[in-house]
Amino acid sequence: MTNASIFAENARVLAHDALPAAQYLLRLHTPECAKTVQPGNLIHLSCSHEKYSLKRPFSVLRSSREGGWIEILYKVVGSGTEQLTKIKPADALHCMGPIGNAFTPSENTERPLLLGGGVGIPPILFFAEQLKKKNNITPMVIMGSEIPFPFKTQPSKILIDSMPSNTIASMTLLEDLNIPSRLTSKQNYPGCFDGYIHELATIWLESLNNQERSDIEIFACGPTAMLKAVAKVSQQFSLACQLSLEEYMACAVGGCAGCTVETINNTGQRQMKRVCVDGPIFDANTVFPL
Domain residues of the chain, as ranges?
A: 7-99, 113-246
DSSP string, 164-190: -TT--EEEHHHHTTT--EEEEESS--T
- 3-class SS at 36? helix
Angle (CA) 18 244 96, round 5°: 60
**Separation between Cα atoms, residue 185 and residue 188, nearest integer Å:** 7
Structure letter (DSSP) for residue 248: -
Is-contact 276 99, C-beta < 8 A? yes
Residuewise pLDDT in 10s, the chain (290 residues): 656 689 999 999 999 999 999 999 999 999 999 999 999 999 999 998 776 577 899 999 999 999 999 999 999 999 999 999 999 999 999 999 999 999 999 887 888 999 999 989 999 999 999 999 888 899 999 999 999 999 999 999 999 988 999 999 999 999 999 999 999 999 999 999 999 999 999 999 999 999 889 889 999 999 999 999 999 999 999 999 999 998 878 787 888 878 889 999 888 889 999 998 899 999 999 998 86
Full-model pTM: 0.95
> What CATH class does 113-246 carry?
alpha beta
> Strands, E, within the chain: which ranges?
7-19, 23-29, 42-46, 55-59, 62-64, 69-75, 92-99, 113-117, 140-144, 153-155, 169-171, 181-185, 193-194, 218-221, 241-244, 260-264, 270-274, 281-283
Structure letter (DSSP) for residue 53: P
- pLDDT given at position 3: 61
- pLDDT given at position 239: 96
DSSP string, 97-121: EEESB-----TT-SS-EEEEEGGGH
Q: What is the CATH number of domain 7-99?
A: 2.40.30.10
- pLDDT given at position 135: 84
